[in-house]
């Protein structure tokens, strides 16, 4: 009898151990695979600022499915600053009842019911940039709350942080998220001031490299920061320039973040919007839409859902594209893809359309090689070319191609 019972318990112990090990492996994989390609989604900030509410966010989730964004690969719906209102007596973070009467869990459930993921925003300081409660001192409690709400993505800002150390603060929240036990993509938003590309791999999945983007070609607003004049609101071409040199720090699970998309916002022309989207794609940047996808001008949906351009961004090799030629107004950007092909953006910054030539040697191929070229905006096979390729890029615009060497 005793022998039988001990046999039974050894068996059940084994089963339990196997289950535990397998769950452990599954959980480890889920963390491992977080942001293995650049995150894609939508964030409320660029258009709605602090004016967010649950109906807006639910509409956006509906649009993801109805307009083909989900099908194109967009996944995360992130509410930025402005959802919080205060803390209760136990220190639990509270969402505004006016903006989110059904509560954050209900919103998260709604987003999940569409097969999408839900993201939220907080700040490493005492307050968010919009003046709402930050997570300073509440990191573990907030992380547990996010996990209980079913949060899948946290953007973590850097206002009201005084003399705090950025690596320490972001490490604390990273540990808090891990302790809470739910895989949550961790988006570091300290604007590049302490060079997060040098320390943030392993702490977060993406890190902002600059101050905030604005929906303009090259505007900028100078402010005084710690006694130094810096531009804190900048157009997309200025942000682009600041990405040069950061390429080697990006890879699967850890991305440079040149800020959210302004495609469809402000007075950007269609060519400028196409250029912005092509360049963010070739940079392997997170593709977080920032426009009102319920009301888009003609042409914007086609830009945001161009699957061939998105495939360049999402390529599994995870290489950030590099600028290989710059003649002042005309630039060539190249991204290595997993199948040996290259994506190339020919970027014309001038006010007139211009012919741009790319030689195969510039993109890392032997000069004599024959390559097949496909134009990703025209969605057209252009033929095979020996030595290189040239095309007319519109003013403030791009030509984006995929180049595949012909082996036979």
Name the active-site residue from 81, 123, 157, 257: 157
292 is catalytic: no
Write out the E strands in 178-244: 185-188, 206-208, 212-213, 220-225, 228-234
CB 210 within 8 A of CB 242: yes
Q: Please, which residue, 208 or 374, has the CB nearer to ligand GLA?
A: 208
Q: Whose Cβ is closer to ligand GLA: residue 47's or residue 306's?
A: 47
CB 352, min distance to ligand GLA, A? 34
**Segment lying near ligand GLA (by CB under 6 A), choices 24-32, 55-63, 127-135, 161-169:** 127-135
* Only segment of 122-130, 241-249, 301-309, 320-328 that touches ligand GLA (CB under 6 A): 122-130
Give buried/exposed letters for 160-179 (b at 16+ CB in 10 A, else e).
bbeeeebbebbbbbbebbee
Rounded (5°) CA angle 252-125-47:
65
Closest to ligand GLA by CB, 147 or 234: 234
| From 54, 142, 152, 157, residue interacting with ligand GLA (rule: CB under 6 A) | 157
* DSSP percent split of the chain into helix, strand, coil, nearest 5: 30, 30, 40
Residue 129 found at the interface with ligand GLA (CB under 6 A): yes
- Angstrom distance (rounded) from CA 327 to CA 103: 53
Give the binding range for ligand GLA (CB under 6 A) out of 51-59, 95-103, 125-133, 331-339. 125-133
Min CB(210)–ligand GLA separation in Å:
9
Whole-angstrom distance, CA of residue 108 vs CA of residue 23: 24
51: exposed, middle or buried (Cβ count in 10 Å: 0-12, 13-18, 19+): exposed
User: What's the min distance (Å) between Cβ of 157 and ligand GLA?
Assistant: 5
- In the block, tokens 């791009």 appear at 398
Min CB(191)–ligand GLA separation in Å? 6
Residue in the block written with tokens 């390559």: 371
Smallest gap, in angstroms, from Cβ of residue 82 to ligand GLA? 7
E strands, 283-329, in order: 287-289, 322-326
The smaller minimum CB distance to ligand GLA, of residues 80 and 247, is found at: 80
- For residues 2 and 59, give the distance between their C-alpha atoms in angstroms, rounded to a whole number: 63
Work out whether 190 is an interface residue with ligand GLA (CB under 6 A): no
Which residues, numbered 242-261, are part of the site for ligand GLA (CB under 6 A)?
Answer: none
Cα 218 to Cα 65, 200, 276, 330, 347: the distances in Å are 33, 28, 12, 16, 15
CA distance 312 to 376: 10
Site membership for ligand GLA, residue 312 (CB under 6 A):
no
Q: Which of 81, 123, 142, 212 is catalytic?
A: 212
**Residue nearest ligand GLA (C-beta atom):** 129
CA distance 322 to 325: 9
Among 142, 212, 272, 315, indicate the residue that binds ligand GLA (CB under 6 A).
212
- Residue 299 within binding range of ligand GLA, rule CB under 6 A: no
Binding of residue 80 to ligand GLA (CB under 6 A): yes
Q: For the CB of residue 193, give the shortest distance to ligand GLA in the complex, in Å.
A: 11
- In a 13 Å sphere around the CA of 306, the CA atoms on its Cβ side amount to 24
Find the binder of ligand GLA among 52, 120, 180, 189 (CB under 6 A): 189
Name which position in 45, 156, 277, 360 contacts ligand GLA (CB under 6 A).
Answer: 45
Active site residue 326: no
List contacts with ligand GLA (CB under 6 A). Answer: 45, 80-81, 128-130, 157, 189, 191, 212
List, by residue number, the catalytic residues: 157, 212
């Amino acid at each position: 009898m005793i022998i039988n019972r001990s046999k039974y318990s050894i068996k059940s112990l084994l089963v339990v151990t196997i289950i535990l090990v397998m769950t452990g492996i599954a959980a480890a994989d889920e963390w491992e695979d977080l942001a293995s390609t650049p995150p894609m989604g939508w964030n409320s900030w660029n258009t709605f600022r602090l004016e967010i509410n649950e109906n807006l966010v639910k509409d956006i989730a509906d649009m993801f499915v109805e307009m083909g964004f989900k099908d194109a690969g967009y996944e995360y719906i992130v509410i930025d600053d402005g959802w919080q209102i205060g803390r209760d007596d136990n220190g639990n973070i509270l969402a505004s009842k006016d903006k989110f009467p059904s509560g954050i869990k209900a919103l998260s459930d709604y987003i999940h019911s569409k097969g999408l993921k839900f993201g939220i925003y907080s700040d490493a300081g005492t307050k968010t940039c919009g003046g709402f409660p930050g997570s300073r001192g509440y990191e573990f409690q907030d992380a547990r709350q996010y996990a209980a709400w079913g949060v899948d993505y946290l953007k973590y800002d850097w206002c009201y942080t005084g003399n705090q150390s950025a690596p320490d603060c972001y490490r604390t929240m990273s540990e808090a998220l891990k302790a809470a036990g739910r895989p949550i993509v961790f988006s570091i938003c300290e604007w590049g001031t302490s060079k997060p590309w040098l320390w943030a791999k392993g702490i977060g999945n993406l890190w902002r490299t600059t101050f905030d983007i604005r929906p303009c070609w090259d505007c900028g607003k100078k402010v005084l920061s710690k006694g130094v004049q810096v531009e804190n609101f900048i157009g997309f071409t200025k942000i682009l320039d600041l990405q040069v040199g950061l390429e080697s720090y990006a890879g699967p699970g850890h991305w440079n973040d040149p800020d959210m998309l302004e495609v469809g916002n402000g007075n950007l022309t269609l060519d400028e919007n196409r250029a912005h989207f092509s360049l963010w794609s070739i940079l392997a940047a997170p593709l977080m839409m920032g426009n009102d996808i319920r009301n888009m001008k003609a042409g914007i949906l086609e830009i945001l859902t161009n699957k061939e351009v998105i495939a360049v961004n999402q390529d599994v090799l995870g290489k950030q594209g590099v600028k290989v030629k710059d003649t002042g107004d005309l630039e060539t950007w190249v991204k290595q893809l997993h199948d040996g092909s290259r994506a190339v953006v020919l970027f014309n910054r001038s006010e007139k359309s211009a012919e741009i030539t790319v030689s195969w040697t510039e993109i890392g191929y032997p000069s004599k090689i024959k390559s097949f070229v496909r134009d990703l905006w025209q969605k057209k096979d252009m033929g095979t070319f020996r030595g290189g390729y040239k095309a007319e890029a519109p003013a403030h615009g791009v030509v984006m191609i995929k180049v595949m060497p012909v082996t036979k």
